[in-house]
Amino acid sequence: MIAFTRHLLPAALLCSALAAQASEVLKGDFWVVHYQGALGKNQVFIADGDPTHIVNRPGGAKSLGVYRLYEEPGKPDFTSYDVEIDCAKNRVRVVGAADFRSVFNGFRNTKYSSQWQSKPDAWLVQSRDFVCKPTERQAKKMEHLGVMSASQMSKAGPHFFEILNREAAKTAIMQKIDEGFAQMPAK
């Protein structure tokens, strides 16, 4: 029963209706492990680094909950991934994924490849490094959000997107300024 409960922990953590009914709200230790996208289409990947939520799997692998928050309209509010990591063999794969949409107030399974990735996406590499190289988290620009409930973590998405959009706008402005200076005649 404990193994079954731990397998469903990521879904239980993120389902605010279940958390609200629980006498004690479950909390995680959340970290931003990766972000990607462009203005208005950003995605933030958040891992739960609470040692009690990282589950040991057969063969020495570990299971980690990673949550992808979307800024783009029409996308799910977030996708919850069960990521399996084998540090000894330096490999990673997804073993479960579900989208959450507040419109339906529930999870729906989504497509994923359960194969060990030969060329994993950047967010999977960062998730692997999060577990396998914990002393390098700061050097790899992983941001510690702190201990909080999953509902608090999921509500942080708009703040991340504001920051990412502000940085993208600054970069675009600086690029235009640099282009302007490059077109000026030399004296």
Q: What is the pLDDT of residue 51?
A: 92
The pTM is what? 0.74
Q: For 17-63, how does the pLDDT look when each residue is reduced to its tens digit (9 = 90+)?
A: 334 444 456 788 999 999 888 778 888 999 999 999 999 998 899 99
Q: What is the pLDDT of residue 133?
A: 93
Q: Out of 2-6, 17-21, 160-164, give the one with best mean pLDDT.
A: 160-164
Q: What is the pLDDT of residue 130?
A: 95
SS3 state of residue 64: strand
Q: What is the pLDDT of residue 95?
A: 94
> Is the Cβ–Cβ distance between 174 and 168 less than 8 Å?
no
Q: What is the pLDDT of residue 181?
A: 77
Q: For 76-122, how does the pLDDT look when each residue is reduced to its tens digit (9 = 90+)?
A: 888 999 999 999 999 999 999 999 887 777 888 899 989 999 999 99
Q: Please report which helix (H) or strand (E) contains residue 92, including its range.
A: strand 91-101
> Is the Cβ–Cβ distance between 73 and 79 less than 8 Å?
no
The CA distance from 73 to 185, in Å, is 44
DSSP secondary structure string for all residues of 100-153: EETTTTEEEE-----SPPSS--HHHHHHHHHHH-GGGTTTTTPEEEEEEEHHHH
Q: What is the pLDDT of residue 168?
A: 67
